Each structure stands twice: as C-alpha cells, then as structure tokens.
A and B are shown apart, each in its own frame.
Chain A
Amino acid sequence: MLTVNSINCGIVIDHITAGNGIKIFEKLKLGEVNYPVVLLINVPSSKLGKKDIIKIENKIDVDLTMLGLIDPNITVNIIENDSIVNKMNVKIPDEVQGLFKCKNPRCVSNYDEYTTPRFKLVKKNGKIFYRCNYCEELTSYTI
C-alpha cells in the first residue's frame, strides 16, 4: 500500500471523484507552484469506491465555487498544526461568474472583452445547466 505523509499546515481536497483529480490539479495550476503538492489517484474509498485526493502544503485561496462546479462531492479540509481546523463541503453553485464561457457564439459575452460571463443555475430533468445573464441560453459545464 502506498503511503503519503500527512501535512502539517495546508489544504486537503478530499472525496474527488476518481478521474477529476488531475483536472482540478490543472485548474488550480498546481503544476506551476513551488511548495509541496501531492495528487493521489484511485485511492480506495468506502463512500466512492475509489477517489482522488490533493494535498497542498501551503494555505492558498481555493475557489470553492469552481470546485463545486467540477465535483459537488468534494470536501476541503484546512489543516493547521497537524489537525483539521475547518472542513468545508462544496456544492453546485447557484451563480457562477467568469469560470466558463457561454456556449452561444452570438452572445455578447463571447465578443466584448470587458464582459464577464455570469450564469444562474437551472435544473432540468435532473441535469444541471447554467442560464446566461446576457443572452439567456443554457450552457452545460464540463471540464
């Protein structure tokens, strides 16, 4: 069994659906940082069967909205002096700003650089969509 030391101070992004770890790693640009980061994939999990985990030995701002958008199962643990001082569950965000583009090629948000695309959550037939604040088209987010 592969073992990875616990971190003393930093962030653990846990319960990532297996396969999404690398995508989050890339979204957070963790390949470019100069502090220790560990990406664990296919870790056995009683809840998910298998899961991915990211351990970051540093306190950074993690965009919970973005994590919720990618994978609402995720938990984020803040570690200080070897213990969890804060545990956060992410959720599918009701509103999203600037994290992805509107799929409508005629939407002003794909044309005017000044514009930040904004979306509101819409659930239809069990599927998740985001309605554009400008053109009202529905976009489904996939990473």
Chain B
Amino acid sequence: MELKGRHLIDPNDFSLEELKQVFDLADRMIDNRDTYGSICKGKILGTLFYEPSTRTRLSFESAMLRMGGSVLGFADANTSSVAKGESIADTIRVLSTYADVVVMRHPKEGAPKLASEYSSVPVINGGDGGHQHPTQTLTDLLTIRRYKKRLDNLTVGFCGDLKFGRTVHSLISTMSRYQGSKFVLVSPTELKLPEHLKSNLMEMYGIDIYETESLEEVIDSLDILYMTRIQKERFFNEADYMRLKDSYILDRSKLKNAKDDMLVMHPLPRVNEISYDVDDDHRAVYFKQAEYGIYVRMALIALLLGVDVNVDGK
C-alpha cells in the first residue's frame, strides 16, 4: 500500500512490507548521501513538541533540511497557544494548514493518535508518554538490519526500565511480528514490562519471552542487547527513582561473556547505564544508531509526503 498521506502513530500502522519500503529507501539515502538534497523543496515539516526533546526534534529537523525542505514549530508547550488551554484538536486543525507533514511529541499517551483524527496532513508520533516512539523503532530496526542483515530469528535482550520505556514497548511489539524473534527481559520487579503488553504479544504472536533480574545470567545468549535509561520524568515519586536508577550498568567486564557479534544498542540519551569504556567496543553501535535515525526519518517523511524519491536512478 502507498504510504503517501498516511500517519505513523504506532509502528504496527505499517505492514512489514511497508516497513521494508522505508528501510530500503533509508539504505539508499545512506549510500547516496548527496543525491536527495532537494526532494522536499517547498515542503514544510511542523514540529509540535509539547515536552522537551533534543535529539528526536533535531533529528527530524536535520532530516527535513537535508532533503531541502523547511521546518517550523515549537519546542516548548509553555510558549505556545497550548499554554492558554487550547485543545489538541484545535491546535492540529490550524497547524496542519501551515505544514505538509507534522511530528508531535506529547507527554500524554495517545495524544498523537488524537491529533491524527483531526489533522489534514500526515502526523508522525514523535513519542507519547510511556506509550510509543515509532520513529525510534524504525531507527532501531534499520540499525539491526544494517548490522545483522536480517530482522527475523534474533534474540533481543531488553535491559533497564521496561515499564515506562516507550522505545522498548514500540520495538518489542514490532519485532514480535518478525518470525523467530525471542525476547529476554532484564529489569527490577518494579520496572517490568507491563503485563497487558506482554500477555497481548504472547497471545497474538506466540512469542518466546524470558524474564530475569540478572543481566549476567543471559548476556551470552543475546544477538542484541538493548539498554535503556531509568527515566526520572516517568516516576511519580523521587524515592523510587533514587532506589532504582543504578540497577543495571553495562561495562567492559559484563561484555566479556557476550557474543562477539552481539550489538549493544541504546536509544540515547544515556546517563550511566553504559560505562564510557564500552564506547570503544566494536559491539557498541548506539552512536551509529543515532545517525541512522536521521536517514530513516528522511525516508519516512519523503514517503508520507509522496515526493519523487527515484532520483538516484534506482
């Protein structure tokens, strides 16, 4: 199905074939970096960021600017009409007339879905509370595909905050759709993957999930280790955050037992959950992952806008 005019609220909005379309174009963009510099000329990306974000917002802006498009929007809800109490529906009705495609980040879960119901242009979910972060998932999948040359039959370990970590929720529910995916969930009891999500995935896809509190116990079985930050902003109480924030720290010594071709991934920003001494390890791909995020967003924007992407003669 054509992606032009579609929204991306949840990674499951796209079929595996449609996801492949995005990754194929992103691959072409990475391999031919100078070719796509004006495919979005005259198009505008609206960035509606209701909560602070540095890399997601700048990654989207960079993606649009690299294709010759323009960007407008706000990065702080306190300085916009939102602060005056405007509903999301009213904001998007107006702003979707100013832009050709919109990316929204919002602290409330489901806000981009709500926006998509009233928008006249494609809406991309740039992260909604602890719910979904689909473009991070596209970034993660592209990174895995480029290093592993496949997205099926992989054992993926998720470590850290699996309760509030929206990047984990998005990635695990998308990877469940690829055949042979196995998941190892490493977290303290308080930050386990929400039961409704786990049971839903087990029911829908019959996936294999193993839960543990010990990273050392399982690290040798993993093809990918996806580390996450314990996010202060998702806690209602400071004491719980302080107690759990240092639960898992990946360092060189823990990596000793990992496979030589295991990937260490992280959605960034990290605080201290990956020691700096891991950065030089050949398995650490998180900075490359951030770079690929720009290209996957370029591919996504171009396909949602329906601009001509056949500029490299392929």
Contacts and interface: CB of A to CB of B under 8 A. Distances in A.
B32 interface: no
B120 to A, nearest CB: 17
A17 to B, nearest CB: 28
Interface residues of B, number: 18
B114 interface: yes
A135 B129 CA distance: 9
Contacts of B90: 114
A29 interface: no
A135 B114 CA distance: 10
Interface stretch (A3-11, A77-85, A105-113): A105-113
Residue among B106, B107, B108, B130 facing the most chain A CB atoms (10 A cut-off): B108
Contacts, number: 57
B113 interface: yes
A134 interface: yes
B303 to A, nearest CB: 25
Contacts of B106: 108
Contact of B108 (A112, A114, A137): A112
B87 A112 contact: yes
Interface in B77-132: 87-90, 106-111, 113-114, 128-131
B243 interface: no
B113 A134 contact: yes
Interface SS of A by simple majority: loop
B188 to A, nearest CB: 21
B88 A113 contact: no
A108 B196 CA distance: 19
B89 A108 contact: no
A112 to B, nearest CB: 5
24 contacts: A106-B108, A106-B129, A106-B130, A106-B131, A107-B109, A108-B111, A108-B114, A109-B110, A109-B114, A111-B108, A112-B87, A112-B88, A112-B108, A112-B111, A112-B114, A114-B89, A114-B90, A132-B110, A134-B109, A134-B111, A135-B109, A135-B110, A136-B110, A136-B131
